[in-house]
Structure 1
């Protein structure tokens, strides 16, 4: 494979990489996928895990090393919910593919955009949102609060008794729940693998909706267990990728290159590519590579259905946008997480709340947590855990760090600004008021960053001095390098980014096809 001259090399096989590689291979281009992790076994069913042995994590398709975070000046290291195998993080995701609102992209008089608006507006993205929804077989029901035409949604499965009870009680409270938009092809025997690897081809992720169909064309090849070390080239063009595979270092070459290693991995690779041609790293004339890092902020709570409702297990079927944009503030979506608040989950989340508060050194708190969890289990039965997914905003000082002496270290620096604290308090208050009359329990004290949703570190824009990529997600400074992952986002939006990543990957594929005349 190192002797081939590929049309396109795609680094990463998540939703962005899988989608762009499929579109290009179906157009007849010769595509090579380069994936750091292993291919794994197709029948695997495990999920995200705190297992700490790097080799075991690699085998399971998990990122092998800890993420080092400096948060408000305090250092910590932990295993983030990130994948490193065929399909990337998407093989573990819960398959929620929601379209953003118009004001997420456009600067509107009554909804001003914090960045002045995206370089490509909502209307220009619409056909790609629709195409991505079809490609990923998304089902659900329209958001009753939306004034836009609905995505081309397939009919969802019938609600369970638990889901129906929650839908009815939320509606009775004046809220507007709808069946969450979910990317699952419900084949016979579907296990509804939300949050775990799917052993069949039901869940539409970067593997089942991207790489595998690409390989089936005969135009794509997959190279796993291969680490991209740096890009090679001259001032305005990439001429190769230095890789390490099986202990050997080699160079891969193509006419065009696509970065899809994620919003943490892609900027790190560009920074690692510093050379005489690129003193600050590849595509980094603006100095913005790795900057403007964003995560969503999770606001988690347990919600109990009315007494006497049958326990039909956890649900991911419910979503609502009543708090998406409120009193001039950009808040976010509320959705079910697919987790029940049984005794074990309640102990976990209450313990985490205490660990992040002044109570962590108070004697007897652990016993108190267990008592509260046992009492709630006895009194209320099984609740469902929901999350409010609040938009994060870009700040240049929030960034991916790269240390040439420790090139494999994954590290970020992040400061929680006052406006985020203020918006979070408003979000909590809005949720609490709306749930009056419901049995519910907030499960977080301090802001909880969603480390599974990094984005924004290679933002696209028209101005080369204020962005890394142009409107087609090609690097301003490099004529044959594109980006197709969450790095391109100039704002995080108030929804899960997966559908937007897939839609943009289709845009990138179109741009590459135009550049190559196919």
Structure 2
């Protein structure tokens, strides 16, 4: 029987962090699971990073999203290639394996730390066992945060390099509290530490190696190169999925449908699935599908190790939360990015900033970044790149947009609010003060959104008028639809979202299995 003739227990649309995790959990529980992935399965030996190539076929072959992301930012439209994947493992195959757990105030309303939404419908204590399970599934190593009272199971990290040791000592001497960043790498023999690029082996724990591949071993199936174009609904339930595969439109059926196409792709698919019963998009009785879009705000800076430090290897091992919540404001974590201020990296990031600016459409301008990049490389020398990852807030007008005349176009509309600008200025002041005595320089002027961390566009909650999903991430309005990606998050938190996505996917899988039994 073919994949199209089979009735599945669950069809998982997307194979990234959320899709891979929930699909594995369901398959290992005995469910008949089909992954549907827009991109190719590729070959295990492939190794490539993010690329600025503009040929759609070449991008898809590399596991990258084929088309630019169109962003209207404060009324100015630009288009560029965001850090989004389109292949087995989704965007997670390119991530830097940072798997940090948020703090209690990220999820809960506390007496001394008010929550922007009054708190998540599933609080920190309810999520804690799922964070622990996700940390074990993704083989997370690191050391405890000295400022964090909440324990989390961690594997012992590898030894620090000379650069890392020197920075740890100097940051501690400055009164900061660095720790070995929480990282999901198995560290098999001859591990190449593939951070920021696709790993040819099973070392890096991503949606492919820790999700899809174990799920396939447990009996799940995979349909790749299949673009889901529509969820066909029959009243308040989904009847089938329509996919484009091998040039044909085909149908797939299941008892349950799980969206895991990311916080940009999942709401876009629901908006594209409008019909006479759902004129504003499937599951959109609240009008919130695609809204409350959040990113993080990157505050990148170059930091020099103490003079005389041996070795030039880039560090990804250092993280600190001294500015996570400071001066009564929700700021964020600071972590090493795993790159040095080399010429190539400087050119790459300068071109990214250029593409996202109002000058991005000027042809040939990107070539001019080579001269300042060469000067910066000589200036920075052995500097390491760090980033402050600042929490974003949900606003209904920040949203994923959909144009039926351009169904394949990925687009968002985003306004930078004054409170974000104010918190960003406070974050910079805190970093400047905290790193006093260290040679460092900020690498940006205006707020830089982290387009690799979209979240919040299908928020969960108890009130169907103010949320798209129930607390178990089942749609309020569609009986057989669940979501297992970053769309569910009411707030963006002050850490990378990957561990939260995985933990929530395990929680949702558990509720589905218990409901099916």
Normalised by the length of structure 1, the TM-score is: 0.96
Equivalent position of 1:466 in the other structure: 466
Please give the per-residue CA displacement for 1:146-168, whole angstroms capped at 9, x wherever unaligned.
111x2110000000000000000
Equivalent position of 2:172 in the other structure: 171
Instruction: Tell me, yes or no, if the aligned pair for 1:350 and 1:369 is still in contact at 8 Å.
Output: no
Equivalent position of 1:162 in the other structure: 163
Cα distance in 2 for partners of 1:353, 1:60 equals: 23
Shift of 1:356: 8.0
Residue 92 in structure 1 maps to residue 94 in structure 2: yes
Superposition RMSD in Å: 1.8
Equivalent position of 2:394 in the other structure: 394
Residue 241 in structure 1 maps to residue 244 in structure 2: no
User: How many residues align structurally?
Assistant: 510
Instruction: Tell me, yes or no, if the aligned pair for 1:6 and 1:253 is still in contact at 8 Å.
Output: yes
Shift of 1:234: 1.8
Shift of 1:44: 0.8
Cα distance, 1:355–1:516 mapped onto 2, change above 3 Å: closer
Shift of 1:312: 3.9
Cα distance, 1:371–1:246 mapped onto 2, change above 3 Å: closer
Residue 373 in structure 1 maps to residue 346 in structure 2: no
Cα distance in 1 for partners of 2:233, 2:266 equals: 17
Equivalent position of 1:329 in the other structure: 329
Cα distance in 1 for partners of 2:9, 2:353 equals: 50
Cα distance, 1:139–1:133 mapped onto 2, change above 3 Å: same
Instruction: Tell me, yes or no, if the aligned pair for 2:342 and 2:377 is still in contact at 8 Å.
Output: no
Cα distance in 2 for partners of 1:187, 1:243 equals: 38
Matches within 5 A, 1:116-515: 116-148=118-150, 150-218=151-219, 220-346=220-346, 349=349, 369-370=372-373, 372-377=375-380, 381-515=381-515
Instruction: Tell me, yes or no, if the aligned pair for 2:302 and 2:385 is still in contact at 8 Å.
Output: yes
Instruction: Tell me, yes or no, if the aligned pair for 2:263 and 2:454 is still in contact at 8 Å.
Output: yes
SS at match of 1:197: coil
Structure 2: state its 5+ residue gaps. Answer: none
Cα distance, 1:31–1:277 mapped onto 2, change above 3 Å: same
Instruction: Tell me, yes or no, if the aligned pair for 1:356 and 1:446 is still in contact at 8 Å.
Output: no
Moved over 2 A (4+): 342-362, 365-372
SS at match of 1:394: coil
Instruction: Tell me, yes or no, if the aligned pair for 1:351 and 1:369 is still in contact at 8 Å.
Output: no
Equivalent position of 1:109 in the other structure: 111
Equivalent position of 1:34 in the other structure: 36
Normalised by the length of structure 2, the TM-score is: 0.96
Equivalent position of 1:18 in the other structure: 20
